[in-house]
Amino acid sequence: MSLTLLTRAGCSACATARTDLTRICTDLGLTFDEVDVDSVATDGDPMLRAEFGDRLPVILLDGEEHSYWEVDEPRLRKDLAARHADRG
């Protein structure tokens, strides 16, 4: 199971999402990756910024968009629990 937070520097909503996601992952013993869409675009991969850059922050669960602009905590916890049970 992979959890990724797409962000950009200076984004206050991204900072809030990072805090929320850190708390949720700590509660569940999980980790997440954070990707700055502007940095990866500068490094030669503009795909993430082109697809998600207008609605950051975005949370990807197993590579699929789960939520954007804010963490949908009840839904995320439910989906994480279901995926954990499926793999259990």
pTM over 0.85: yes
Q: Which secondary structure element, helix H or strand E, spans residue 66, and what is its range?
A: strand 64-68
73-87 helix and 12-28 helix, angle to the nearest 10 degrees: 40
Torsion of CA 22, 28, 33, 34, to 10 degrees: -20
User: What is the CA angle 27-23-75, rounded to 5?
Assistant: 80
* pLDDT tops 70 at residue 23: yes
Pick the CATH number of 3-87 from 3.30.420.40, 3.40.30.10, 2.60.40.1220, 2.40.33.10: 3.40.30.10
Residues 30-88: pLDDT tens digits? 999 999 999 988 888 888 889 988 999 999 999 999 999 999 999 999 999 898 777 75
At residue 1, the pLDDT reads 85
**Bigger pLDDT: 86 or 10?**
10
40: which residues sit within 8 A by CB, 6+ positions away?
46, 48, 49
At residue 43, the pLDDT reads 82
Give the start-to-end residue ranges of the domains of the chain.
3-87
